[in-house]
Chains A and B, each alone.
Chain A
């Protein structure tokens, strides 16, 4: 069986038997390919750096956003408004150091101008104080700094615990992961049998430790009358 001499590896371009005509068409084709090639090269020369810069930019943007927004953040929607990221319905769920859940959400969050976190509107947060007791905190305004996981509440703050205690204060700094809350401004606490008015309050160890300072006035209602709510002093009116 004779080795067919015409067999050669496919990679080698077949040298076509060319006529003069064929020769010119090949030349033209080669020339067109070269021109195309150089255009591609010119394009790449220009495009590649731009493309690379774009990648870097996106990378930086994403990391900044990720750093500013904690990973356990979910959003209803996000957009850009006059150069600042606006998020609708942001919600952060996490666990504090004793593994109790906390969640924080807002109607709207706008990236703070100084870029160190977000300004919030319509804030609500829930902290677990113990396994069967939780605290709900709402405020009209606030600022959340993901770096220090600190939520600063500033406008019409209302705190209510699941066992009937309410706290009013004008400013509060909340670190749910550390389980602390520091409140300033006239602090007014009302429970069924107690009313506490103080200059400032600080809660730590998830509610195991409380410190009232700046002057304190506490009224302890005896168990019996509080149900009837008949006591005529201001406490009764403060409760409803």
Chain B
């Protein structure tokens, strides 16, 4: 990435950040600003609104966290910034980065996400932390029910950041977002920063509604995935996917690699987890139907490489920065090509190499064409897993394990995972 930096001398201090911030960035092993950071940090410091689009793993979080902390250090008060994210895990991750960056500032922050104790959160909010990192649903919940005391701080917010803006602006979040926006300062007296790897046309149209907005765009569609990513596909029938997956991940080449397997449904994730477990693969899962504690635990296990395979739904598709991931498997093909971009963006981050393998079944051909069009690249066939190998090694074993897993699931919670919650 440093290649794209024009001048060698360009450092964070040259972008206008204070020395202490540059030092803490240094201690995080971030020495040279990336393209988006070079572009956005000075503009944000100037007080402009910003729409930042850059491919996955290019340092967007720092691009908004650093200038916010800089501004905060000049005039520290109540709730200074609100960061909204679509998923809880992403909120936690961003809070970690804020904590690392702001350690020297004695930064106080609050993570307001679902699945955790609401009263404790309200108490934290009352103490007016500098930065609030939240998911829209829980923040709206506080606004509705926690009383004026807790949300008073929100009325003077200087910064509103929407990470993964294109996801936040979908109808699913609309109501909660509206509620949050109503409480916060008007757009005129705060800075609004929108970031995503897939900035859509509508987000771009916000240009008109904001004052002097700065836009850092993804130059063209093809850049939205990193160049170091190697995209492959496997064209196989639906009912033998599990066997292929097991064969793929137990190949001698892949045996040591950390991999994320993306699926479209929580139940599939649970079944796959059980299959892998019966094959003695160190596996963990992340989806919406397990408790928040389990979610955090399993992500932590994967981060620490206690588990080699993470089976996840789209809750893990955006923003999560796990450097060890070397491989992303799309067990199901997402309906939205943008989701694909975010999923494969979990690997090949910050200039590392990575590999993605899509399992294309007979029903997914339209989807894969749409993805190839969106990404602007044609995938190549993955040659290392052959039919004879699957038949010999994993077919019968996997199908047995799958049936057993399905039966166990049915017995444990009579069909739905819902009951397991809480």
Q: Do A and B bind each other?
A: no
